[in-house]
Structure formats: C-alpha cells, structure tokens
Amino acid sequence: MAKITVDADTCVGCGLCEQTCPEVFKVESDGIAHVKSQSCSSCNVSDLVDQCPVSAIKIG
C-alpha cells in the first residue's frame, strides 16, 4: 500500500488536513502535521493531496 507522508519542510501547519481527517493527521506542537495512521475509515486521504495549500501531503 502507498505510504502517506507530510513534507515537514513544506507544511505550514494550517490544520486543514487534521480538520478533514483527524484519524490520519495531527498538527503537533512543532507546528507541522504528522501522520498518525496510514488509513482512514471515513474519508479518502488521496483527496487531501490536492487540498493541501502547499502540496505537502504525498502518497507514494
């Protein structure tokens, strides 16, 4: 299965990914989104790849 990652150098910590899919993403105290889980039961994570304003989310 493709691996979900967040590019820490690119992420601006806007929180959109966490709002949309808190099962997978969490913005930690370092101000960057971290991947908590590689799958989500309630949403399609690949949609978020396009929604991240700085294209920091990668699946592959």
| Nearest distance from C-beta of residue 34 to ligand SF4, angstroms | 9
d(CA 6, CA 3): 10
**C-alpha angle 19/21/22, rounded to 5°?**
75
Q: What is the dihedral of CA 23, 27, 32, 38, to 10 degrees?
A: -10
Number of residues interacting with ligand SF4: please give it, by CB under 6 A: 16
**Binding positions for ligand SF4, 7-46, rule CB under 6 A:** 11-17, 25, 27, 33
| Nearest distance from C-beta of residue 7 to ligand SF4, angstroms | 8
| Nearest distance from C-beta of residue 41 to ligand SF4, angstroms | 19
